[in-house]
A and B are shown apart, each in its own frame.
Chain A
Amino acid sequence: MLFVQFRFVIFFLIVLAVHWALRGNTARKVWVLCASHFFYACLFIGGPDSASAEQFPPITFYDALTTSKPLPTGWWFPFVLWGSTIMDYVVGLGIGNSQEQWKRRAWLFVSLAMNLGVLGFFKYFNFFTDSIYAALAWFGLHTSKGTLAIFLPYGISFYTFQSMSYSIDVFRRRVEPVRSFLDLATFISFFPQLVAGPIVRAMTFLPQLVEKRVWARVDVRACLTLFFIGFVKKACISENVAPVADAFFNDPTRYGVTATFIGVFFYAVQIYCDFSGYSDMAIASARLLGYELTLNFDFPYFAKNITDFWKRWHISLSTWLRDYLYIPLGGNRGSKFFTYRNLMLTMLLGGLWHGASWTFVIWGGLHGLALIVHREYERIADRAGAWWQRARVYLGPVLCFYWVCITWIFFRAQPIIDAKTHMVKMSGFEVAWTTLKSFVFFQENGGKKFDSACLWLFAALVVIHWLASRKVFATWWRRIPDWLYAALLGAGLALALYFVPQHYKAFIYFQF
């Protein structure tokens, strides 16, 4: 069940109606918790490679238990989620009840070890073993390779970070340990943000669970508008540019320079619209239930520089990494070398968080490098003349976007498998290198082109996005009467549905 599917609308309307019909806060939380687990079950019943459920979860489980049908592949995913929740509940209480610092540290260590252990096992076990085998082979030591068939539970990267932040905040005495298990379980498994964020902090969300939500405070029009914008981003834009980006990255050797630019730019559009569209819909759904989630995107492609980019892109992750990794590592408190080391380590681990592949590590490394270079540049640029100060206002965003696109090449580069032989035709690195040759060195790889309509679409998207960043569309829809708003929303939806493809891809960040 994806946010963009009709079945989600039905599911959400039921959740919403019952939620607001219930009087007690506890009853509402129980209801949201149940709904969250139903939502989660819908994801894995579709199979490990699919994020759509064709079957109704209770029936699937009942069938499996009463007949000889096998359980769905990810039947154990909820146990990992519950395990993480129970462990952090106990750790939170443990830290809260301990006065001695060493005991508090020990409890925190348990939480970090368990959360990172679970994440490491499910996400990185095969990556590390493969890398070790490859390294041994490089030294001439060939060993028999063992790989476990491990399915990555949906949302594990997000909820483990969320539960870790709770333990750390309790340890730092920023949050009181939660006495109500229901509150913590609702916080960790809250369905709008369960599988792809935004990564919500305990200190912002838990107080919202204590206080009873009031319908009168819900800005329904703002929520519907935000949800609609998110829907358009994902279903109309991301899904329609994705085939172009996929066609390009499935064989970059066949395309010329212009087509390479289109392919890479379209991937930049795809990933932004996919993820920020998801975040918009998550935030809007949560707001309709009366809860506030963290802002995740703030027009990142108009960032003035790379440092600014990281204040605007995946904000909930970048601030998490800043608060729970960069600052504990020492932040910028030491020498320049230590600051840069911390910056690079943070970005490398941030890259690795996205996926168990060296291309993600390189993606993080390139961003770390850019952040370091930018820090050095800032010191020089401040002393430059007035003309340069004016020029950098215009040059900065362009150069920043170009660099971000270069890093996306590594992010997107995946091995190409030959359809007939099922052998790896091109490794991820080869895909990235071939693309870079064209994108950076303007070398023609092939003669294949995309239609010029792609460039027009890209230009139109830039203009619309720029207008949105200037808040041109920010308030006018608030001032119009209800009937006109409803008519515009209905017409807008009809137009959007015209451009929605028949079959959706799962959100890109579901795989992380």
Chain B
Amino acid sequence: MTRLIRPLVVILIFFAALAGLATLLGPIEPLRDVPVVGEKWTHWRAHKDEFDTLFIGTSRTFRGVMPSIFDQLTAGAGVPTRSYNFGVDAMFPPEDAYVAEALLRDPPRNLRWVFIEQGLFISGFEGRPPTSVRTIYWHDWTRTRLCLRETLWPKKRGVKWSKWFEPDDEKPSPASNALTHLHVFLLKALNIGRGSSAWSRVVFNTPSNAGFLGLAADGFEPSSGDGVMRGHELERYEREYAERVKTPTRVVPLRPYSLESFERQLRFARKAGARTIFIVAPTTGELSGHPAPELGVPTFDFRDLVKFPELFAKEHRTDIAHMNAKGAELYTRRLAEKFIELAKTQPPTTR
């Protein structure tokens, strides 16, 4: 028996040391070398105490919310803010929750407002290389667990296990997806590539891509291109717009795992002494997910075609999901109006 136990203990010690040191190395600049996220993170780390309002979301926030305009309007209305846009292209839940937690773990001294954009919970890897830096960095156990549950038990209900092995319309099977998540989690847990990326940055003197911070260094960057919809994109938009005119967007509660991810962000924001506002960007989607009212989170939903017609005018959009520079200004103004109204009636608790 001792002959068996002894090597087992040694093997256990080996794995404990491996996991222990990997866990210690994990928190060293976790976002620093992630494309786009890294640039925004570096600027945030250096200037975070200058800001009291934070926007987190996808490209709809990144390309749609202009902190300079927002701050100008709020100052004019007597509820001054200094805001930073931490929107990143395709940063959907649960990735946004990971970033939000990283930002709010060491919050700015005067953080008061956190705006979180509603995004679709993405548990697959469609179109994303699973072993890219951008996919690995947020795959901590909390996020991986959420993805595994969403993949294997969508809607929190058990799925017949045989379905796990059936691919769905060119997509990999849930089991394959789950395995990929576990693989990516291992890469994240073992910090694969982190030092190597940092070394490349040092050696090649990679300049910080200030383009992602925008001209005002506030994180806003307008959509690329000339900001005009053409051809198929325009046809698709007009079709979807017509459909929404016929059947307006429905409001539904957030899906279980989106809600879970969101609730974590909410907890972190509260701990940081900030108040959270949930925003739903102006898109033509069929459904609009909202957090439950008992959470007490104000929600700014901009998907109403009748209330916000200018946000859906095709000359203000660059594609089906994004505003162009003019649209971004209008969207920011609308957002500021709603915020001012809220801030005047329900100011945030100060720490």
Contacts and interface: CB of A to CB of B under 8 A. Distances in A.
Nearest to B193: A502
A482 B21 contact: no
B25 A494 contact: yes
Interface string B186-221: 010011111111011011110000000000000000
Interface in B1-47: 6, 9-11, 13-22, 25
B187 A487 contact: no
Report, as a range, how many residues of chain A touch the other chain: 20 to 34
Given A453-B203, A495-B21, A503-B131, A490 B193 contact: no
A486 B203 contact: no
> Does more than half of chain B's interface fall in helix, strand or loop, or is it mixed?
helix
Nearest to A244: B203
Report, as a range, how many residues of chain B touch the other chain: 20 to 34
Q: Which of B15, B131, B193 has the most CB of A within 10 A?
A: B193
Interface string A226-245: 00000000000001100110
A246 to B, nearest CB: 11
A270 B25 CA distance: 26
Nearest to A503: B131
B27 to A, nearest CB: 12
Interface in A92-131: none
A288 to B, nearest CB: 15
Nearest to A488: B17
A487 B132 CA distance: 30
A454 B14 contact: no
B192 A502 contact: yes
Contacts of A493: 18
A486 B195 contact: no
Interface in A472-512: 482-483, 485-491, 493-495, 497-503
A482 B196 contact: no
Interface string B123-150: 0000000011100100000000000000
Contact of B18 (A247, A485, A491): A491
A482 B18 contact: no
Contacts of A244: 203
B192 A486 contact: no
Contacts of B194: 498
A451 B201 CA distance: 10
B193 A453 contact: no
A299 interface: no
Nearest to A450: B203
B203 A502 contact: no
A500 B22 CA distance: 13
Contacts of A500: 192-193, 195-196
A354 B187 CA distance: 35
A485 B14 CA distance: 8
A490 B18 contact: yes
Contacts of A454: 203
Contact of B192 (A247, A451, A489, A497): A497
Contact of B16 (A240, A247, A490): A490
A483 B14 CA distance: 8
Q: Which of B17, B20, B25, B191 has the most CB of A within 10 A?
A: B17
Given A491-B21, A497-B190, A502-B131, A486 B13 contact: yes
A483 B204 CA distance: 41
A450 B18 CA distance: 33
Nearest to B6: A482
Contacts, number: 91
A243 B203 contact: yes
Given A486-B10, A502-B193, A491 B20 contact: yes
A486 B14 contact: yes
Interface string A446-470: 0000110110000000000000000
Contacts of A497: 22, 190-192
Nearest to A495: B21
Given A486-B10, A490-B18, A491-B21, A498 B203 contact: no
B193 A483 contact: no
A228 to B, nearest CB: 11
Contacts of B205: 451
Contacts of A488: 17
Contacts of A239: 196
Given A500-B193, A502-B193, A494 B22 contact: yes
A490 B21 contact: yes
Interface in A148-179: none
Contact of B13 (A451, A487, A494, A503): A487
Contacts of B25: 494-495, 498
A483 B9 contact: yes
Contact of B17 (A247, A494, A503): A494
Contacts of A498: 22, 25, 191-192, 194-195
A498 B190 CA distance: 7
A312 to B, nearest CB: 29
Nearest to A481: B10
A483 B153 CA distance: 41
A500 B192 CA distance: 6
Contact of A490 (B15, B136, B191, B196): B15
Contact of A501 (B13, B19, B136, B193): B193
Nearest to B25: A498
Given A491-B21, A495-B21, A243 B200 contact: yes
A422 B107 CA distance: 51
A244 B196 CA distance: 12
B187 A482 contact: no
B21 A494 contact: yes
A488 B18 CA distance: 9
B320 to A, nearest CB: 32
Contact of A453 (B6, B18, B187, B202): B202
B133 A502 contact: yes
A490 B13 contact: yes
B190 A486 contact: no
Contacts of B187: 502
Contacts of A494: 17-22, 25, 190-191
A495 B24 CA distance: 10
Nearest to B205: A451
Contacts of A451: 202-205
B17 A487 contact: yes
Contacts of B20: 490-491, 494
Contact of A240 (B22, B131, B196): B196
Nearest to A494: B21
A16 to B, nearest CB: 14
B338 to A, nearest CB: 42
Given A486-B10, A494-B190, 7 more contacts: A451-B203, A482-B6, A488-B17, A494-B20, A497-B190, A498-B191, A502-B133
30 contacts: A239-B196, A451-B203, A453-B203, A454-B203, A482-B10, A483-B13, A486-B10, A486-B11, A486-B13, A486-B14, A487-B14, A487-B16, A489-B14, A489-B17, A490-B15, A490-B18, A490-B19, A491-B21, A494-B20, A494-B25, A494-B191, A497-B190, A498-B192, A499-B195, A500-B196, A501-B193, A501-B196, A502-B131, A502-B133, A502-B136
* 5 nearest A-B pairs in the assembled complex, by CB-CB distance: A490-B17, A494-B21, A490-B18, A499-B195, A502-B193
Interface of A: 239-240, 243-244, 247, 450-451, 453-454, 482-483, 485-491, 493-495, 497-503
